[in-house]
Chain A
Amino acid sequence: MSEATIEVSGLRKRFGPRVALDGMSFTVRPGQVTGFIGPNGAGKSTTMRVILGLDKAEAGSALVGGRAYASLRQPLRHIGSLLDAAALQPGRTGRNHLLWLAYSQGLPAARVDTVLERVGLQSAARRKAGGYSLGMRQRLGIAAALLGDPPVLMLDEPFNGMDPEGIVWMRGFLRSLAVQGRAVLVSSHLMSELQDAAGHLVVVGRGKVIADASVTELLAAASGDRVTLRTTAPAEAATVLERAGAAVSADGDSGGQLTVTGLPAEQVVAMLAAAAVPFSEVSAHRASLEEAYFELTRDAAEFRAASPPGNPVTPAARANAGEATR
């Protein structure tokens, strides 16, 4: 069996005049959770539907484990997926929903009970799915994706409708799947949901990939080389540091806080100490994933509300993270 991957290359598709996919290409590798992230309408769900053979792309290819989805005999043993957790007939019980799905892959009924237990849905399994909460439907959808014990998993917005406890559970669950060596692709439009869960990120906007990097790389790029300095002698500090080639600017009204660009934190500490300039705090600035994401997708967002007053959209980190990772 070939390596468990999803390989997407050069997908193009338009719905009428609207370009949905504009050369989407990326690869999902085993052993880690890959976050598939981008604003609404960026083409995440369309890409997933193309991967599953539900929609046809006008150009490009999407392969699961090196094969086209339509050629898979028992596809759920190769890739488990969750597109829309609400997509089930309300009159059928959760267990029976999994049962027909299992039979369609030649899997035994025992497998249904195994996955129900895995997602913690045993108690509700014999109730009609129409009465499930959104969170329960998500769990049922995850159970369906796990039915064939597939090496590849692909989940579209699995955090939707989950309570905080559910979100924590989902993060741990996704990590545990990746640790087992599976390739896991999880889409979201909220970076915070993927924090601590994803090891790799594919950021998309307007139908193509904007960034494809590990979380560490993205953060480093977004953080830049900035240091925040708190001192009672800002003027002396600025003189010392500027002499060493750094750019210094004052933050806030108090004047006691400076932002230093161009020198690493250790060097700032060493130089201030050598010049006997007093300081109370030196910290390397660390961008959040949120900031990195905003920076990347600033131009790619399809729909953006008029910004409400008193809540600036522009984050502090305006570093050239986008340039760095492109």
Chain B
Amino acid sequence: MSYALRAEWTKLRTVPGTVWLLLAVVAATVLLGLVADAAASCPSGGCQLDLARTSLTGIYLSQAVIAVLAVMTIGSEYSSGMIRVTLTATPHRATVLAAKAVILTALVLVAGTVAVLGSVLVGGLILPAHGFTSAHGYLPLSLRDGPVLRAAAGSVLYLALITLLSLGIATAVREAAAGIGGVLALLYLIPIIAGIASPHWQRHLHQIAPMTAGLAIQATTSLRSMAISPWAGLGVLAAWAAAALLAAVALLRLRDA
């Protein structure tokens, strides 16, 4: 396993796209968060805004970049045919996938932490200037605050789980374009299509959809009205990721390379 890890790490660091994608993760998270922070305003108080969630809005975008990174990691091996070289070097196929998963997750945890810390910092600077002050009943955004810390750390974990989900789907599909299409459809479409369902079903959809359930971890206010509690929501996403990876391992072992 350690050899496979070192090989996968070497692969990732010697492909020019990796660094740019990781930088894009940070940039997308912080910039979209900045836009959301700047657009939020509460001059007179009494607005219902979840400050942590607003400042972490960028995760909606950066998860797509993360998905690209994960999908390309396996998809480009299939498109170039290099997967056969990889599987010749490491015949135990589950090991190959595990090594990719470990290396990718580690990279995403680092980039995600930087991105989330940046977003919280930006939110803490901008939001008070837009009326979200203690005078209007808002605590300053701080990681010392339990729920805010949960939202921040949870967002990093969310990105890591999206990585694994994407890796699993792309491995099962073996095609970069279809893989990323599948991942983004799973993430983005369910919340949009939920609009057509009755409120009862809408709630259920929000409970099982990987994005809406997973992002419940960002909530710091009005937790009661949420469709699913923060940690349970992240658990739902974890189940999706685990299912995708298991399916990927099964298909990887079953199919000819």
Chain A residues proximal to chain B, CB less than 8 Å? 49, 52-56, 69-70, 72, 74-76, 81, 83-84, 86-93, 96-97, 99-101, 103-106, 144
- Nearest residue (CB) in A for B83 is A87
Complex Cα distance, B6 from A87, in Å, reads: 20
Structural contact, A100 and B7, CB atoms closer than 8 A: yes
Q: Are A89 and B77 in contact (CB under 8 A)?
A: yes
Pick the 10 closest A-B CB pairs, nearest first.
A87-B81, A104-B7, A96-B14, A100-B10, A55-B256, A54-B257, A103-B6, A104-B89, A70-B91, A103-B7
Asked if residues B89 and A76 are in contact (CB atoms below 8 Å), the reply is: yes
Per-residue interface assignment for chain B, residues 1 to 12, with 1 indicating a CB less than 8 Å from any chain A CB and 0 otherwise:
001101110110
B114 to chain A, nearest CB (A): 24
Contact A83 B84 (CB under 8 A): yes
Given A49-B84, A75-B90, A103-B10, output 9 extra A-B contacts at Cβ < 8 Å. A52-B91, A53-B91, A70-B92, A75-B88, A90-B80, A93-B14, A104-B6, A105-B89, A106-B3
**Closest CB of chain B to A158's CB: distance in Å?**
15
Chain B positions within 8 Å of A, measured between CB atoms, are 3-4, 6-8, 10-11, 14-17, 76-77, 80-82, 84-92, 256-257
Complex partner residue of A55 from B15, B91, B257, CB under 8 angstroms: B257
B16 neighbours in A (Cβ, 8 Å):
91
If over half of B's interface residues share one DSSP class (helix, strand or loop), that class is named, otherwise mixed; here it is helix
Complex Cα distance, B14 from A54, in Å, reads 25
A99 close to B84 (CB less than 8 A): no
Decide if B3 touches A74 in the complex (CB within 8 Å). Answer: yes
Q: List 10 A-B contacts (CB under 8 A).
A: A53-B88, A54-B88, A70-B92, A74-B3, A75-B90, A83-B84, A83-B85, A87-B85, A96-B10, A105-B89
Chain A contacts of B17 at CB under 8 A? 91
Contacts of A54 in B (CB 8 A): 84, 87-88, 256-257
A91 with B84: CB separation less than 8 A: no
Instruction: Report which of B3, B7, B80, B87 forms a contact with A53, defined as CB distance below 8 A.
Output: B87
Asked whether A88 and B82 contact (CB < 8 A) given A81-B88, A96-B10, A104-B89, the answer is yes
Partner of A88, one of B7, B85, B87: B85
Q: Are B91 and A87 in contact (CB under 8 A)?
A: no
Q: B232 to chain A: closest CB distance in Å?
A: 39
CB closest chain-A residue, reference B17: A91
Complex interface: chain B residues within 8 A of A81 (CB): 88
A93→B17 CA distance, assembly (Å): 13
B252 to chain A, nearest CB (A): 12
A84 contact set on B, CB distance < 8 A: 81, 84
B4, closest chain A residue (CB): A104
Contact across chains for B84 and A87 when beta carbons are under 8 A apart: yes
- A140→B74 CA distance, assembly (Å): 22
CA distance A104 to B256 in the complex (A): 21
A91 lies within 8 A of B87 (CB): no
Q: Which of A49, A70, A81, A104 has the most CB of B within 10 A?
A: A104
Residues in B whose Cβ lies below 8 Å from that of A93: 14
**A52-B87 Cα distance, complex, nearest whole Å:** 9
A78 CB to nearest B CB, Å? 11
A91 touches B256 (CB 8 A): no
Q: Does the CB pair A104–B3 fall under 8 Å?
A: yes
A49 to B88, CA, bound (A): 9
CA distance A221 to B17 in the complex (A): 58
**CB nearest neighbor in B for A92:** B14
A55, B6: Cα distance in complex, Å: 26
Contact B91 A75 (CB under 8 A): yes
Taking CB atoms, residues of chain B closer than 8 Å to A144 are: 85
Report the minimal beta-carbon distance from A82 to chain B, rounded to whole angstroms: 9
The answer for the CA separation of A310 and B176 in the assembled complex, in Å, is: 49
Q: Please, which residue of chain B has its CB at the minimum distance from the CB of A148?
A: B89
Which residues of B are found within 8 Å of A74, using beta-carbon distances? 3
Q: List the A side residues contacting B90 at CB < 8 Å.
A: 75, 104
The answer to whether B10 touches A99, judged by C-beta atoms less than 8 angstroms apart, is: yes
Chain B's closest residue to A76 (CB) is B89
Complex Cα gap A88–B77 (Å) = 8
Query: Bound state CA distance, A81 and B87, in angstroms?
Result: 12
Task: Please measure, in the bound complex, the distance between the C-alpha atom of A101 and the C-alpha atom of B87, giving whole angstroms.
Answer: 11
Of chain A, the residue at the smallest CB distance from B12 is A100
Establish whether residues A99 and B14, one from each chain, have CB atoms under 8 Å apart when the complex forms.
yes
Docked complex Cα distance between A81 and B257 (Å) = 15
Which interface residue of A52, A84, A99, A100 has the most chain B CB atoms within 10 A?
A: A100
Are B15 and A89 in contact, CB atoms less than 8 angstroms apart? yes
A92 touches B3 (CB 8 A): no
Closest CB in chain B relative to A50 CB, distance in Å: 9
Given the complex, which residues of B lie within 8 Å of A92, measured CB to CB? 11, 14-15
The contact of A89 among B3, B76, B256, by CB within 8 Å, is B76
Q: How far is the CB of A238 from chain B (nearest CB, A)?
A: 61
CA distance A69 to B90 in the complex (A): 10
Contact check, A86 vs B256: say whether CB atoms are below 8 A apart.
Answer: no
Distance of A310 from chain B, by nearest CB (Å): 40
Q: How far is the CA of A23 from the CA of B74 in the complex (A)?
A: 34
Q: Which residues of A contact B10 (CB under 8 A)?
A: 96, 99-100, 103
Name which residue of chain A comes closest to B79, CB basis: A89
- Interchain CB contact (< 8 A) of A101 among B15, B77, B89, B92: B89
Chain B residues with CB under 8 Å of A101's CB are 7, 85, 89
